[in-house]
Amino acid sequence: MVIYDNVPLLGELQSYKGGDNRNMEAYRIGDHVVAADTEEDARHFYREEVGKDAPAEIEELSVSLEVPAGEGKTATIRDLMNKIIDERCAWLRLGIPCELHWPFIITKLK
């Protein structure tokens, strides 16, 4: 399969990249909301990106929870996650290598 000619459906792409069909989850770590496949991935990503160790207890959040989305607006975690995944899919369509399931910071609370 060549992803430059035809962009495959998400499930096909994950299969092509050796991934699976699990959904990313949202985790509150300190004042950040992080999207990752697992709590362990979220902890590792937080340590690398923020430069601090995650607290012993982190909270898994519902993707239906509304959080700040900038400029005084709010959006659900699901909407913000989908926006980032859509951007990553667009990069793939342009031929730019990108991991769909790489963790990312959804928003910062406070």
Residue 3 forms part of a structural domain: no
Residue 22 forms part of a structural domain: yes
Residue 2 forms part of a structural domain: no
What is d(CA 25, CA 63) in angstroms, rounded to the nearest whole number?
Answer: 8
Residue 94 forms part of a structural domain: yes
Residue 86 forms part of a structural domain: yes
CB 92 within 8 A of CB 13: yes
Write out the two tokens for 38.
Answer: 């697992």
CB 35 within 8 A of CB 84: yes
Nearest to 102 by CA among 36, 19, 33: 36
Residue 7 forms part of a structural domain: no
CB 15 within 8 A of CB 5: no
Residue 13 forms part of a structural domain: no
Residue 52: which domain range?
Answer: 18-108
* String of DSSP letters for 64-90: T-EEE-STT-EEEHHHHHHHHHHHHHH
Domain count across the chain: 1
Residue 1 forms part of a structural domain: no
What is d(CA 51, CA 32) in angstroms, rounded to the nearest whole number?
Answer: 12
Tens-level pLDDT at each residue, the chain (110 residues): 334 444 444 444 443 444 445 689 999 999 999 999 999 999 999 999 999 999 999 999 999 999 988 888 999 999 999 999 898 889 888 888 877 778 999 999 87
3-state secondary structure of 20: coil
